[in-house]
C-alpha cells in the first residue's frame, strides 16, 4: 500500500527482446498517478519502463504501459477505457516479443483474459528492440516508480517471465459457471534467469517462489493482507464517496469523514442477501459522532441522518441506540464507544439480525433489522463531524497499516481479526460467499 514498495536489481537476462508480465491487483485511492511495476537505469539519464494507472481528471483510472530511452518512447500504449471497479481484482498480462515481423504483435496486453485492442496512444517498438526491464543491473520496483508514485491498492500473484511471451491462458481461465476470469495460482511457465513470481501472501512480501530466488527487498512495511486474487475480501466502496466527503486510504480500508456538514454514508463493496458475516472497525477519532452497522444497496447515501434510508446503524450518541430508516430509533442505552475502541459488527442476512460488539464483548445481540433494509445488504458507516476515522478490518488483518495483535480466523479458516469471530459467522469474501451465501 501507500509509501511502500519492493525493489530488486536484475541479473544476467535470458532474452531482453522477449518477456511477459502478469499481475493481479485491486484499485485503491484514485486521486494520483500510481505505478504497478517499473524499472530505471540510473546511468542512462532517462531510460525507464513503467506500468501505471493515470488519475488526472481527463483520464481517470486509465492504464499506460510506457518504455522510454534517451532517444524517446519505444513503447507507449495508453488505454482508451478506464478500469474503475474498486471491489474487483483485475488481471493485466503484457506479452512482449520484439522479434515479431508485425509491430502490433510485438506487444500484446490482456485485461481479464481479453486482449486490449483500443488505445488512445499506440506506439510499438522497432523489430528486435531490446527492453531495459530485464537488462543486467537495472533497478526494478514493484509498487512504485523511482521511490515515488506509490501504489495504494492491493497486488498479488505478480509474475515476470524472462525469455518467453506467454498468452493469457497461462495465468487465468474463464470459470464456466459464472464467466468470470479466474486466477491460476501456480502458472506452468519457464521463468528464465530474471523471472520471478511474487505471491505476496507470506511474511516476506518480496519472496520469489519461481525457484530463481530473485527476491525483492521491501522498502517500508508493505501490508500483507488476506485479500488476494484467489479470495477477494470486501473493502469500503469509494464509489459511494459522493461530494468527496470521505478521505479513503490503505486500499479503501481506512475512511475519514469530513468535519461538519451533512451526514454521508459509506458501505462495503460486497453486499450479500443471505448468510452470516462479521467485520471489525477501530474508531481512531471522532467516536462520539460515529454511526455504523448495515444498509441495503438502494439506500440514499447523502443527507442528514433522517434522510439516510434503508439503514440500521448503531448511533453512538444517546448512550448507544439504533438509528433506523428515516431517523426512527429502536432500542437505546446499549453503551458507547471511545476513540481507539474496536467495534465488531455481526450481520445475519438470512434472519435479518444485527449484533454489536465492543472490544470483543457483546453490547447487543440479534437486534432486528427493519424490513426496509432488504435485498442485498452491506456493512455501512456514516458521521457528520469530528472527522470520524474508521479503520476497517473485513478480515484483511489490519487496522490502517497496523496488523491485528491476534490471529482469529473464522470457522472456515479465512480472515484475521482482533477478536474471536462469533459462532456461525464468517468474514465477507468470495470464498465464504460461494460456500455460505
Residues 207 and 80 in one domain: yes
Number of domains in the chain: 2
Distance from C-alpha of 41 to C-alpha of 63, rounded to nearest angstrom: 22
Contact 236, 295 (CB under 8 A): no
pTM of whole model > 0.85? Answer: yes
pLDDT, mean of each 10-residue run, the chain (437 residues): 81 97 88 87 73 73 86 86 89 98 98 96 94 92 89 90 98 88 95 96 82 90 74 92 85 89 87 97 94 90 69 86 84 93 98 97 96 93 87 94 91 96 97 90
Residue 54's pLDDT is 84
Residues 172 and 310 in one domain: no
Residue where a domain stops, chosen among 188, 219, 250: 219
Residue 332's pLDDT is 87
SS3 sequence of 214-230: CCCEEECCCCCCCCECC
Q: Helices (DSSP H) in 354-429: which residue ranges?
A: none
Query: C-alpha dihedral over 49, 53, 57, 58, to 10 degrees?
Result: 60
Residue 302's pLDDT is 66
Residue 224's pLDDT is 61
Residues 181 and 249 in one domain: no
Contact partners, residue 416, CB within 8 Å, separation at least 6? 226, 393, 395, 396, 397, 403, 404, 406, 407, 408, 409
Residue 40's pLDDT is 87
Residue 2's pLDDT is 55
CATH of the domain at 85: 2.60.120.200
Residue where a domain stops, chosen among 161, 186, 219: 219
Residues 40 and 93 in one domain: yes
Residue 319's pLDDT is 84
Tell how strand 426-427 and strand 276-285 pair up: parallel
Instruction: Supply the range of the domain harboring residue 421.
Output: 238-436
Q: Which helix (H) or strand (E) holds 330?
A: strand 329-330
Residue 45's pLDDT is 57
CATH of the domain at 360: 2.60.120.920
Residues 252 and 279 in one domain: yes
Query: Could you tell me if residue 230 is inside a domain?
Result: no
Residues 336 and 200 in one domain: no
Amino acid at each position: 500500500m501507500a509509501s511502500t514498495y519492493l525493489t530488486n536489481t536484475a541479473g544476467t537476462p535470458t532474452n531482453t527482446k522477449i518477456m511477459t508480465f502478469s499481475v493481479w491487483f485491486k484499485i485503491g485511492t484514485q486521486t494520483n498517478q500510481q505505478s504497478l511495476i517499473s524499472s530505471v537505469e540510473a546511468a542512462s539519464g532517462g531510460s525507464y519502463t513503467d506500468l501505471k494507472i493515470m488519475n488526472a481528471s481527463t483520464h481517470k483510472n486509465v492504464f499506460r504501459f510506457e518504455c522510454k530511452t534517451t532517444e524517446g518512447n519505444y513503447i507507449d500504449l495508453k488505454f482508451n477505457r478506464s478500469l474503475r471497479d474498486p471491489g474487483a481484482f483485475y488481471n493485466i498480462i503484457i506479452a512482449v516479443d520484439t522479434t515479431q515481423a508485425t509491430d502490433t504483435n510485438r506487444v500484446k496486453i490482456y485485461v481479464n483474459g481479453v486482449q486490449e485492442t483500443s488505445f488512445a496512444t499506440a506506439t510499438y517498438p522497432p523489430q528486435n528492440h531490446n527492453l531495459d526491464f530485464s537488462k543486467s543491473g537495472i533497478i526494478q520496483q514493484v509498487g512504485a516508480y523511482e521511490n515515488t508514485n506509490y501504489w495504494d491498492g492491493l497486488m498479488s500473484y505478480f509474475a515476470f517471465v524472462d525469455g518467453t511471451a506467454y498468452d493469457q491462458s497461462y495465468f487465468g481461465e474463464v470459470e464456466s459457471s459464472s464467466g468470470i476470469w479466474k486466477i491460476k495460482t501456480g502458472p506452468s511457465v519457464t521463468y528464465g534467469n530474471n523471472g520471478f513470481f511474487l505471491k505476496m501472501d507470506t511474511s516476506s512480501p518480496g519472496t520469489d517462489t519461481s525457484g530463481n530466488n530473485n527476491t525483492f527487498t521491501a522498502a517500508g512495511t508493505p501490508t500483507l493482507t488476506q485479500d488476494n486474487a484467489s479470495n477477494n475480501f470486501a473493502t469500503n466502496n469509494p464509489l459511494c464517496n459522493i461530494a468527496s466527503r470521505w478521505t479513503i486510504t490503505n486500499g479503501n480500508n481506512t475512511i475519514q469523514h469530513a468535519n461538519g456538514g451533512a451526514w454521508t454514508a459509506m458501505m462495503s463493496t460486497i453486499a450479500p442477501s443471505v448468510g452470516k458475516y462479521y467485520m471489525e472497525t477501530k474508531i481512531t477519532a471522532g467516536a462520539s459522532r460515529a454511526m455504523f452497522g448495515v444498509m441495503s444497496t438502494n439506500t440514499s447515501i447523502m443527507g442528514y441522518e433522517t434522510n439516510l434510508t434503508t439503514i440500521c446503524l448503531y448511533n453512538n450518541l444517546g448512550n448507544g441506540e439504533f438509528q433506523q430508516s428515516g431517523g426512527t430509533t429502536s432500542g437505546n442505552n446499549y453503551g458507547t464507544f471511545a476513540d481507539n475502541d474496536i467495534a465488531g459488527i455481526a450481520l445475519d442476512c438470512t434472519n435479518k439480525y444485527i449484533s454489536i460488539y465492543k472490544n470483543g464483548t457483546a453490547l447487543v445481540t440479534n437486534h432486528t433489522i427493519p424490513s426496509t433494509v432488504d435485498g442485498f445488504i452491506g456493512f455501512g458507516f456514516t458521521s457528520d463531524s469530528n472527522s470520524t476515522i474508521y479503520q476497517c478490518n473485513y478480515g484483511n488483518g489490519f487496522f490502517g497499516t497496523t496488523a491485528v495483535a491476534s490471529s482469529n480466523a473464522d470457522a472456515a479458516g479465512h480472515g484475521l481479526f482482533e477478536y474471536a469471530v462469533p459462532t456461525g459467522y464468517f468474514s465477507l469474501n468470495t470464498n465464504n460467499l460461494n460456500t455460505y451465501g
